[in-house]
Amino acid sequence: MVEAGLFDGVDAAMMFHPADRTVVDWGSLAISEVEIEFFGKAAHASGSPEKGVNALDAVIQTFNGMNALRQHIKDGARIHGIITDGGAKPNIVPEHAAANFYVRAKENAYRDELLEKLRRCAEGAALASGARLEFKLVGHSYKAMKPNRVLGGAFVENLRSVGWELNPPEPDGGMGSTDMGDVSQVVPSIHAYLQICDEGIAGHSREFAQASISERGQGAMLAAAKALAMTAIDVLSDPEMRERMWEEFRAS
């Protein structure tokens, strides 16, 4: 939508997400998704293993390289992945193996730097194993969130007027990623979080899923909808607020 210019002429963009805390300017991490494939050579794993090239070994070596890399990356950055193909049968040297990774960072440029570091881990694994590497970005990369404090301040006041208070996490608390980060680069934006469960319950857990369909979860959704609508009225009816909002956006 951003690339298609659908936010041209828009004054502000707002959304909310459920969480274990209530906070307005939590931010988000820039993210890219990577698909890594290795192509080896099949052989009998017991009868003639020396004739094979093990693509799964290359995937495992990539993970080992990535795990060694972690101690040398900035706080808040994340690299995590899964093996999506590890071979067909234990008695066949895997001729194909694949993994899927997310690379995240607080800064867009550092996310790109980490992508290259991950690429080098995979290239080293290919060299060591003899497998051929294909390394490609998939999906859409998202930029880091740029919260607008003026817009966020209005939302906080409106949220309080419907009976909610903030309880933000620690400054070094973990963050996720969102396409709202891209939106925040072109228009003043906020991505608020409202608490739907006890503190410490992890997002994407089964407990969090249950909280999202609970009475408490519905209450958070309704409160967020009210506060967002009230903030939209503020934006539409207050030219001075719009000016301050855009001044901050242009300066950030």
When pLDDT is averaged across residues 34-49 and rounded to a whole number, the result is: 97
Delimit the CATH 3.30.70.360 region(s) of the chain.
31-142
13-28+145-251 under CATH 3.40.605.10, yes or no = no
When pLDDT is averaged across residues 56-62 and rounded to a whole number, the result is: 98
The Cβ-side half-sphere exposure at 245, using a 13 Å CA radius, reads: 28
Task: Encode pLDDT of 124-133 as tens digits.
Answer: 999 999 999 9
Query: From CA 235, how far away is CA 250, in angstroms rounded?
Result: 17
Alpha helices, H only, 92-138 = 108-129
Tokens (6 digits) for 51: 């004739």
When pLDDT is averaged across residues 136-152 and rounded to a whole number, the result is: 92
* pLDDT at 3 > cutoff 90: no
Predicted pLDDT of residue 171: 62
Q: What is the mean pLDDT of the chain?
A: 94
pTM summary value: 0.79
Name the class of domain 31-142: alpha beta
Task: Encode pLDDT of 190-218 as tens digits.
Answer: 999 999 999 999 999 999 999 999 999 99
**DSSP result, 22-67:** -BS-----EEEEEEEEEE-B--BTTT-GGG-B-HHHHHHHHHHHHH
Delimit the CATH 3.40.630.10 region(s) of the chain.
13-28+145-251
Query: From CA 157, how far away is CA 161, in angstroms rounded?
Result: 6
| Tally of CB atoms within 10 A around 233 | 12
Residue 31's closest CA among 176, 148, 136?
176
Task: Encode pLDDT of 92-108 as tens digits.
Answer: 999 999 999 999 999 99
Find out whether 55 and 40 touch, Cβ atoms under 8 Å. yes
DSSP assignment letter at 102: E
Predicted pLDDT of residue 2: 84
Predicted pLDDT of residue 176: 85
Predicted pLDDT of residue 140: 86
Predicted pLDDT of residue 172: 63
